[in-house]
Amino acid sequence: MRSTYYTQAPAVTIQLGARLGRLLKEGDIVFLFGELGAGKTHFVKGIAEGLGVTDLIKSPTYAYVNTYDLKKGRSLHHYDLYRLEPGDDVTSLGYEETLADPKAINVVEWADRLGDRLPSRYIRVDILMEEDTRSIAIDFVYPTRLRDDMTQSYYEEWQTPLHVRAHSEKVTDVARQIAEVYIQKNQIVDINLIHTACMLHDLCRLCDFREIKKDRFQEGVTDAKWQKWAELRKKYKGVHHADIASDFLKSCGFEETAEVIRLHKSVNIVREFKSYNSLEKWIVYYADKRVKHAEIVNLAERFRDGQARHGILNTPEQQAEFKEVEKRTYDLEKMLFEKLDIGPGDII
Ligand code: ADP
Ligand code: MG
């Protein structure tokens, strides 16, 4: 699952590249795919701009690579492998060295020339052209990435109840609507991360339901399922479902999705506000607060529902913390929609 952007002018392609450039960290690698004239070099111009390079960026077609100094001893290597034949040796270009340099950022045009010799972590940019329109698909590839087609098998593994799955699908829908508007605004969003985190945020919700009653579930609860549920609830007694799912997915190697899921737990927005450091984390947290069961509602209604179900148990300290959670969530809503042409009420 990738985020696809449409640009109608070279300047917009550059702007999109710059937004990606601003997110790049040391060690990041960007591979660009697309025909001659697709706009790869324009995109790289943007990346360089986003990284603070002020030199004129030209395609290094004859040199294969141009290097630019960045702040803090870092550097940007811009490769253009157009003249390389498939299977040709890239070692003589210094490619392996700069790719392995932890202080470097590498950007490679004509990455298809590398065949399947791609590292395990990179950002893939595919540009397709049609007259003056370019569709630019951006995909974040990393070994610890959970693929969107894997979510169903985790539901099965954890025997996640059907109504929890329905809730999760609705949350995914809300998050996608918001993410799509950000993508239309040419903001860089990892849509796969949002999708998988939303789908699995309540994977282990069953474990911390206050009580369970067989007839409350829409599916037929077999004895085997009931027993499995009882075992899970016993094993994870007292642990919040966000932490159970997050620890589990981390143990499977899916760090990024695990962390986004951990942060859907409401109190975390008060206890560790600083951890909410990406658009993906904001969107997933917020989308969950807009869905009551499998219905899209406003924040007030969702909070009222939460209070009705848990309110009486709260100590004054918890009550105060909950007020703060509400306030932070409203602030987040404001922040999320500030830059968009739609409002919270337009999510349907
Ligand atoms: P590549 O490096 O993929 O060969 P370049 O970036 O050098 O491509 O060139 C792209 C060409 O397409 C330029 O002539 C540019 O003006 C033109 N162009 C037209 N529309 C766009 C667009 N939306 N984005 C990028 N380039 C565009
Ligand atoms: Mg080029």
Q: How far is CA 102 from CA 41, 46, 73, 223, in A?
A: 24, 22, 11, 54
Integer CA distances (angstroms), 231 to 29, 153, 212, 234, in order: 45, 19, 13, 5
Nearest CA to ligand 1 atom 12: 37
Supply the pLDDT for residue 114: 86
- Of all residues in the chain, the percent with pLDDT exceeding 70 is 98
Ligand 1 atom 5: the closest Cα is on which residue?
39
CA distance 330 to 217: 32
Mind listing the pLDDT tens digit for each residue in 327-346?
A: 999 999 999 999 899 999 99
* pLDDT digit string, tens, across residues 240-292: 999 999 999 999 999 999 999 999 999 999 999 999 999 999 999 999 999 99
Ligand nearest to the CA of 37: 1
Closest CA to 287 of 301, 278, 299: 299
Tell me the C-alpha distance between 278 and 337, whole Å: 15
Distance in angstroms (rounded) separating the CA atoms of residues 102 and 271? 33
Both structure tokens of 227: 């027993």
pLDDT interval class at 315 (50, 70, 90):
confident
The pLDDT value given to residue 83: 87
Report the distance separating Cα 95 and Cα 77, nearest Å. 9
Ligand 1 neighbours (beta carbon < 6 A): 7-10, 13, 34, 36-42, 59, 109, 132, 134
The rounded Å distance from CA 126 to ligand 2 centre is: 13
The pLDDT assigned to 308 comes to 74
pLDDT confidence of residue 284:
98
- Taking the C-alpha atoms of residue 312 and residue 319, their distance in angstroms, rounded to an integer, is 10
Which pLDDT does position 87 carry in this prediction? 65
pLDDT tens for residues 80-91?
A: 999 887 667 777
* Band (186; pLDDT cuts 50, 70, 90): very high
pLDDT digits over 129-147, tens only?
A: 998 899 999 999 988 899 8
Per-residue confidence (pLDDT) for residue 84, from 0 to 100: 84
- Averaged confidence pLDDT in the chain: 93
- How many angstroms separate the CA atoms of 42 and 40, rounded? 5
Q: What pLDDT shows up at residue 117?
A: 83
pLDDT of 297 reads 97
Segment 85-90 long-range contacts (CB within 8 Å, at least 24 positions apart):
85/113, 86/112, 86/113, 86/115, 87/115, 88/113, 90/114, 90/117
- Could you tell me the CA-to-CA distances from 210 to 75, 157, 247, 310 in Å, in that order? 54, 22, 21, 10
Which contacts (CB < 8 Å, 24+ apart) does range 111-114 have? 111/31, 111/32, 111/33, 111/81, 112/33, 112/86, 113/81, 113/82, 113/84, 113/85, 113/86, 113/88, 114/31, 114/81, 114/90
Q: Read off the pLDDT of residues 152-176 as tens digits, 9 standing for 90 and up.
A: 999 999 999 999 999 999 999 999 9
Which of the four pLDDT bands, split at 50, 70 and 90, describes residue 311? low
328: Cβ contacts below 8 Å, ≥ 6 apart: 269, 270, 273
Residues around the ion ligand 2 (C-beta < 5 A): 40-41, 59, 109
pLDDT band at 313; cut points 50, 70, 90: low
Share of the chain above pLDDT 90, in %: 78
Q: What is the pLDDT at residue 90?
A: 78
- Please tell me the distance between residue 74's alpha carbon and the centre of ligand 2 in angstroms: 23
Predicted local confidence at residue 88, as pLDDT: 75
pTM over 0.75: yes
What is the predicted pLDDT for the residue at 306? 80
CA dist., res. 239 & res. 205, Å (int): 10
pLDDT tier, 314 (very low <50, low <70, confident <90, very high otherwise) = confident
